[in-house]
Amino acid sequence: DIRMTQSPSSLSASVGDRVTVTCQASQDISSSLHWYQQKPGKAPKLLIYDVSNLETGVPSRFSGSGSGTHFTFTISSLQPEDIAIYYCQQYESLPHTFGPGTKLELK
């Protein structure tokens, strides 16, 4: 299985801050990576697919980049509604695997 790691595991930031989360794959996954947002008690929501493509309706303050084994997810200006856990997911090979998540909190 391809192992996904994320850093940091938790992050405290203020409204308006630029926030960056890193996702690393245990082997080269090319551009086979997606990002999700999960709020308490809710199913995950797809934000970004194929590294950098914004899902329809997702605000442009969210962005992603990377390739190979190293990927980043950025919120350019944190909003209160962005408080959630963020997960990366690889689909280069089965089984699909997710990162352990990054919990974003308001400072």
According to the binding rule CB under 8 A, does residue 86 interact with other proteins? Answer: no
Min. distance of Cβ 11 from other proteins in angstroms? 16
Handedness of CA 74, 22, 71, 95 (dihedral sign): negative
Question: Judged by CB under 8 A, which stretch of 14-22, 58-66, 67-75, 96-104 contacts other proteins?
Answer: 96-104
The interface mask with other proteins, positions 24-63, x = CB under 8 A, is: --------x-x-x-----xxxxx--xx----x--------
